[in-house]
Amino acid sequence: MSDASITPEVTGGEAEFGDYIALLKPRVMSLVVFTAFIGLIAAPVPVHPVIAFCAVLFIAIGGGASGALNMWYDADIDAVMKRTSGRPIPSGRVGAHEALALGLTLAGFSCVMLALAANVFSGLFLAFTIFFYAVIYTMWLKRWTPQNIVIGGAAGAFPPMIGWAVSTGGVSLESVLMFLLVFMWTPPHFWALALFMKSDYDAAKVPMLTATHGRRVTRRHILAYTLLLAPLAIGTGFTSIGGPFYMAVAVVLNGLFLLGALRIWRRDEEAAAADGYKVEKSFFKLSLIYLFAHFAAIGAEAGLHHFNVGGW
């Protein structure tokens, strides 16, 4: 192609490197990296730092591949929603076929490399996670059921289990509890977001609980999941990955989380609209701190073990 053939239309479709990074959903990847790393260091079998670094990197790339496949399939939804309309595909910077190719390539690459760097079980586990997110959640449940968040949340909950599998080569009660912590946390986190971002999901015709069953039911669901989450999070503190420090964090944060869920449940729409969804927004922010602090506390307990301080 000669330079004379360059036109503004072509320029609009020419992606830069950052656009391909954006396809991998770096913010979601950061959560994947963090929880996978904690799952890895909390496990009782030590891993060489270089292998640990590679394993977390390949898990992150697998998460990024899921993100690219999600953006490829959901390009129509992303184009409608204000929050996502600037993403590389709806904005025209990256072609949908490019996102598909990138997603499939990175998915295969990350699973094979994780299997080679750590063990075959963790590679297969990563492959299942990518399949779960890209096919079960993105292609099937997201557009079909208002419980999409619940089941799709499982994909985001697998990374700490994969991190644990990198270290131990298997699954145990502790890794299942870390999975459940993220799994049960996801619905209240996203439904709180849906309460104050309702116009976006409605416009995209995504069957969010707020649209299909109403906002009263959504508030009830947030409380129900928070009630189930609290004993689970505190119960995790009694296992080998817990300890006094984790327990203190869990008790305080679950108390605050329950209080927030109760306040959301007691409010009606008039009160929420009147103060600009202040309670829902603060609950959403708290949910971010909640997950980070729980996993940070698990990591801290694992670190304290080396000084014979952590754990029970």
Give residues 7-26 in contact with other proteins (rule: CB under 8 A): 10-11, 14-18, 20
48 binds other proteins (CB under 8 A): yes
Shorter beta-carbon distance to other proteins: residue 75 or 118: 118
Task: State the minimum distance, in angstroms, from the CB of residue 11 to other proteins.
Answer: 5
In whole angstroms, give the CA distance from residue 151 to residue 137: 7
In whole angstroms, give the CA distance from residue 302 to residue 295: 11
Shorter beta-carbon distance to other proteins: residue 17 or 307: 17
**Closest to 167 in 3D by CA, of 44, 300, 303:** 44
179 binds other proteins (CB under 8 A): no
**Closest to 207 in 3D by CA, of 134, 138, 147:** 147
**Closest to 225 in 3D by CA, of 186, 256, 175, 197:** 186
Contact of 159 with 133, CB cutoff 8 Å = no
Helix axes 173-196, 244-266, angle to 10 degrees: 30
Angle in degrees, CA 170, 173, 176, rounded to 5: 80
Interface with other proteins: number of residues (CB under 8 A): 16
Site for other proteins (CB under 8 A): which residue of 72, 103, 114, 117?
A: 117
Length of the chain measured in residues: 312
Q: Establish how many alpha carbons lie within 13 A of residue 168's alpha carbon, considering only the half-sphere containing its beta carbon.
A: 18
54 binds other proteins (CB under 8 A): yes
Site track 240-279 with other proteins (rule: CB under 8 A), x = hit:
----------------------------------------
2 binds other proteins (CB under 8 A): no
112 binds other proteins (CB under 8 A): no
Tell me which amino acid residue 116 is.
L
Shorter beta-carbon distance to other proteins: residue 40 or 182: 40
Site for other proteins (CB under 8 A): which residue of 2, 9, 46, 50?
A: 50
**Footprint on this chain of other proteins (rule: CB under 8 A):** 3, 6, 10-11, 14-18, 20, 48, 50-51, 54, 57, 117
